[in-house]
């Protein structure tokens, strides 16, 4: 545990969460501005959608690369550097003159995403006693959650009023505010003398690290299978009007906040039972959406409950801290690559089921299947642990 006064801990956690808030806003704001971006860049809306994919690809590639390269950098300094890159990337995105340059800007802006959350989670966990570490991690990730509730709608509104590019200027300013706050309020933590790129790469040889990442990549895919198509599903199945959908999406955000807080508290009491419980809860909630999606009220309540499944993120982050050994930074960063992989996997499989003519509500069973697969992977993880301990002995 890092030595810091009790009064300083909330400020440090808040500063880290502001960075998460900026990153979350920057990741999702383009989704509400795709038609405006397509018109300005003289491309189709599906082509504009590639700007989302470019950012996600940057997250997946950037997380391990920057985590390895930053292994010997003091954590506060690394966080500041990451937020500076993020701020510059968004300012460049605001002024990118062409579709090609915009794609490159979004790809590079995604680079700091996973490493920032990974390192910020490690710092947050070091500021509190071990029995509260998952709650500290959840508070950092709360910035990402609040971004979906507040940051994205406000930045989207500003983009519609002032031009879509202004949204990226706002996100860039959030990045500047974040790195200033991190520099001021987060305590200096010396770099680990034993850390090195080669040490970090040992995470790639650790079976428990890979299995933990697999739980996130597969188990969380169920959430994205349903949420990626929640708007057309609720409009077609439950007859909800487009004007009401923002309120339904807000319920999802409320569920995310509740899941983060409650799940983190439970994980600090018993980590493995909480991971298994969240996945089993996912099987129940996601499968129930098959029936509730036909009813406006019950479907909306189910969407709120689907949001609680993000609780898996902080719990898996804590598990990675336990199993990663000396490769803490890379393992923590890869957790966010895994969740971006879950986003891609869930959205793709949900689209396959809809395209196959199984109906909008078929995403419920796709989601439940992925959550159940996560349960299976976790069971295998627990089966392997005593065997590996015996082999090491």
Span 221-260, pLDDT tens digits: 999 888 878 878 888 888 888 778 778 878 888 898 899 8
Q: Residue 117's closest CA among 79, 152, 171?
A: 79
Contact 274, 263 (CB under 8 A): yes
Contact 205, 219 (CB under 8 A): no
CA atoms of 223 and 262, how far apart (whole Å): 18
Asked whether the domain spanning 193-393 has the same topology as the one spanning 1-186, the reply is: yes
E-only strand ranges, the chain: none
Tell me: domain 1-186, CATH 3.20.20.140, correct? Answer: no
Q: Residue 319's closest CA among 382, 369, 393?
A: 382
Residue 102: per-residue pLDDT: 93
Domain ranges, ordered by start, for the chain = 1-186, 193-393
Q: Is the pLDDT of residue 138 over 80?
A: yes
| Residues in CB range of 328: below 8 A, 6 or more apart | 122, 321
- Tell the residue number behind the tokens 């995105």, with chain if given: 93
Task: Kindly write down the DSSP assignment for every residue of 338-384, as one continuous string.
Answer: HHHHHHHHHHHHHHHHHHTTS-GGGHHHHHHHHHHHHHHHHHHHHHH
Contact 343, 170 (CB under 8 A): no
Token pair of 116, please?
Answer: 């920032």
Q: Phi first, then psi: what are they for 29, rounded to 5°?
A: -65, -30
Contact 311, 134 (CB under 8 A): no
Residue 347: per-residue pLDDT: 81
Spelled out in words, what is the top-level CATH class assigned to the domain 193-393? mainly alpha
Q: Residue 25's closest CA among 177, 170, 138?
A: 170
CA atoms of 13 and 3, how far apart (whole Å): 14
Token pair of 158, please?
Answer: 């500003």
- Tell the residue number behind the tokens 């509260």, with chain if given: 132
Angle at 159 between CA 155 and CA 160, to 5 degrees: 120
Q: Phi first, then psi: what are they for 44, rounded to 5°?
A: -80, 165
Least confident of 28-37, 217-226, 283-292: 28-37
DSSP structure class, residue 238: S
User: What pLDDT, in 10s, does the model give residues 339-386?
Assistant: 878 877 888 888 888 888 888 889 999 999 999 999 999 999 988 776
Average pLDDT, stretch 87-95?
Answer: 94
Task: Provide the pLDDT confidence category of residue 6 given band limits of 50, 70 and 90.
Answer: low
Residue 231: per-residue pLDDT: 78
Task: Provide the pLDDT confidence category of residue 194 given band limits of 50, 70 and 90.
Answer: low
């Amino acid at each position: 545990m890092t030595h810091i006064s009790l009064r300083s801990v909330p400020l440090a956690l808040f500063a880290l969460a502001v960075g998460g808030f900026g990153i979350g806003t920057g990741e999702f704001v383009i989704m509400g501005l795709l038609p405006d971006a397509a018109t300005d860049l003289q491309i189709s809306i599906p082509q504009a959608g590639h700007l989302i994919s470019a950012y996600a690809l940057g997250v997946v590639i950037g997380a391990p690369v920057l985590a390895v390269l930053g292994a010997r950098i003091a954590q506060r300094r690394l966080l500041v550097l990451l937020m500076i890159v993020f701020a510059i990337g968004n300012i460049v995105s605001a002024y990118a003159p062409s579709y090609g340059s915009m794609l490159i800007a979004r790809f590079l802006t995604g680079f700091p995403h996973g490493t920032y959350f990974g390192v910020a989670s490690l710092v947050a966990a070091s500021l509190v006693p071990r029995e509260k570490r998952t709650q500290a991690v959840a508070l950092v990730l709360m910035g990402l959650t609040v971004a979906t509730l507040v940051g994205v709608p406000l930045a989207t509104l500003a983009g519609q009023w002032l031009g879509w590019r202004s949204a990226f200027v706002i996100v860039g300013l959030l990045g500047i505010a974040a790195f200033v706050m991190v520099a001021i309020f987060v305590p200096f933590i010396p770099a680990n003398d034993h850390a090195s790129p080669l040490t970090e790469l040992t995470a790639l040889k650790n079976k428990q690290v890979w299995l933990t990442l697999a739980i996130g990549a597969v188990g969380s895919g169920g959430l994205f299978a349903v949420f990626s198509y929640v708007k057309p599903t609720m409009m077609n199945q439950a007859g909800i009007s487009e004007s009401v959908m923002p309120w339904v999406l807000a319920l999802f955000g409320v569920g995310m906040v509740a899941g983060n807080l409650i799940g983190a508290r439970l994980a600090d009491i018993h980590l493995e039972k909480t991971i298994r419980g969240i996945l089993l809860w996912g099987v129940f909630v996601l499968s129930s959406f098959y029936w509730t999606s036909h009813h406006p009220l019950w479907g909306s309540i189910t969407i709120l409950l689907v949001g609680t499944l993000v609780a898996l993120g902080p719990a898996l982050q804590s598990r990675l801290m336990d199993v990663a050994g000396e490769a803490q930074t890379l393992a923590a960063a890869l957790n966010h690559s895994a969740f971006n992989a879950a986003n891609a996997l869930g959205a793709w499989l949900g689209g396959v089921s809809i395209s196959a003519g199984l109906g909008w509500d078929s995403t419920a069973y796709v989601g439940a299947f992925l959550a159940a697969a996560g349960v299976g992977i976790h069971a295998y993880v627990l089966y392997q642990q005593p065997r590996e301990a015996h082999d090491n002995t």
